[in-house]
């Protein structure tokens, strides 16, 4: 792999090239193994349905993007933004995600997660309660989730 770092999810969006589904899945797997500290801290609170019982996946391929976190039951994308994120580009990507897949996006900065994780979690719970469930009848027909090996069970 020649010392190449996994790209951030911001590099996967419109104009980011994305690559083949296999390439995206391989990048997502590398990104799960090498998460930045703010993502690692947030994942610690999201994994294992710890946040109000909601299941989350990390570094998920949706279309030609890799998103930081995804709540399948709500279809909610969660992105963690570093200092280099461009709000205009991010807004375009978020609009495309909603238009093309029907998934709204919520964004938190690295700084917000590092300084006020409790506030981030409160906001996330509030948004999760507002977003409609994707599956009728209380998730009775929820698609099968990936194995812990695929998820990177750490």
Distances (CA, A) of 10 to 14, 40, 52: 9, 17, 28
**Span 23-32, mean pLDDT?**
92
- Residue 117's pLDDT is what? 98
Residue 24 CA to residue 32 CA, distance in Å, equals 12
13 vs 62: which has the higher pLDDT: 62
The structure's pTM equals 0.77
pLDDT, tens digit, for every residue of 29-74? 999 999 999 999 999 999 999 999 999 999 999 999 999 999 999 9
Q: Give 77: exposed, middle or buried? Use CB within 10 Å, 0-12, 13-18, 19+.
A: buried
Q: Which sign does the torsion angle of CA 98, 120, 74, 148 carry?
A: positive
Dump strand ranges (E) for the chain: 57-62, 65-71, 76-81, 105-109
- Residue 140's pLDDT is what? 47
DSSP-based three-state secondary structure for 62: strand
Task: Look over the chain and give the mean of its residue pLDDT values, rounded to a whole number.
Answer: 83
Q: Which two tokens stand for residue 117?
A: 């994780």
The residues facing 57 across adjacent strands are: 70
Backbone angles phi, psi at 134, to 5 degrees: -80, -30
- Residue 128's pLDDT is what? 97
- Residue 137's pLDDT is what? 61
pLDDT over 50 (residue 10): no
What percent of the chain lies above the pLDDT cut of 90?
69
pLDDT over 50 (residue 17): no
119 vs 6: which has the higher pLDDT: 119
């Amino acid at each position: 792999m020649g010392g190449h770092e996994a790209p951030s999810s911001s590099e996967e969006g419109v104009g980011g090239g994305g690559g083949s589904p296999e390439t995206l899945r391989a990048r997502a797997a590398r990104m799960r193994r090498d998460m930045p500290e703010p993502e690692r801290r947030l994942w610690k609170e999201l994994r294992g349905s710890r946040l109000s019982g909601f299941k989350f996946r990390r570094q998920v391929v949706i279309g030609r993007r890799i998103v930081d976190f995804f709540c399948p039951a709500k279809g909610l994308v969660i992105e963690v933004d570093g200092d280099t994120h461009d709000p205009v580009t991010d807004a375009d990507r978020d609009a495309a995600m909603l238009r093309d897949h029907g998934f709204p996006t919520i964004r938190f900065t690295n700084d917000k997660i590092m300084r006020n994780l409790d506030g981030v979690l409160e906001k996330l719970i509030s948004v999760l309660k507002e977003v409609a469930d994707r599956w009728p009848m209380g998730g009775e027909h929820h698609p099968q989730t990936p194995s812990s090996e695929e998820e990177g069970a750490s």
